[in-house]
A = this chain, B = another copy of it.
């Protein structure tokens, strides 16, 4: 068993530097690597390019990095929940590349899987396809999309073991699995870190080979963005 455990978030983030590209898991505020994001704010690395489906809200998730102007460029599919984001983007302070959500997921997965490029119909005929190669397959136009490159992938899982194996919970899975192994170094923060052999090998969502560093997060707030309920 190859042990991937590091002692804390600081050790996990070693090597993250100004100007790097980070891939971060999560959908909205669900399944985001909140311990790592908190530490990135503290470390104060700047000029980051962040690849993440969303940009958090003003005071949580990637919104914390936006507030401190640590992000130079954001690659995302939906950023509607973040007023500071919109302000920085419309004022030109923040560079933004919006990409269809499925293409975003597949470009991460392609990086993980050693697929340099693939064709997808998403975005054909729209500004997303501008400047990209398009091609017809079975009578339908497709656009060529390439694998993302990133220095670090930072993901959040529910349980993990020392070998780096990960299990996600509910819809907190989202973009996390496809990002594992997609960046040069993958960091996983987990709610519970268990010894190797504790998890059923049949029920691992992401094998440890895709994870370089794993640690148990000190605290998970797991904020709910839209608390919707029905009456009993």
Residue ranges of A at the interface with B (Cβ–Cβ < 8 Å): 106, 110, 113-121, 137-138, 142, 146, 167-170, 201-203
Contact = CB atoms under 8 A, between A and B. Distances in A.
Contact of A119 (B116, B120, B138): B116
B118 A119 contact: yes
Contacts of A106: 113, 115
A116 B213 CA distance: 35
Contacts of A113: 106
Given A169-B202, A170-B202, A202-B169, A114 B118 contact: no
B114 A137 contact: no
A203 B200 CA distance: 11
Contact of A142 (B116, B138, B167, B202): B116
A117 B116 contact: no
A137 B119 contact: no
Given A118-B118, A170-B202, A203-B203, 10 more contacts: A106-B115, A114-B120, A115-B119, A115-B120, A116-B138, A117-B118, A117-B142, A118-B119, A167-B202, A168-B202
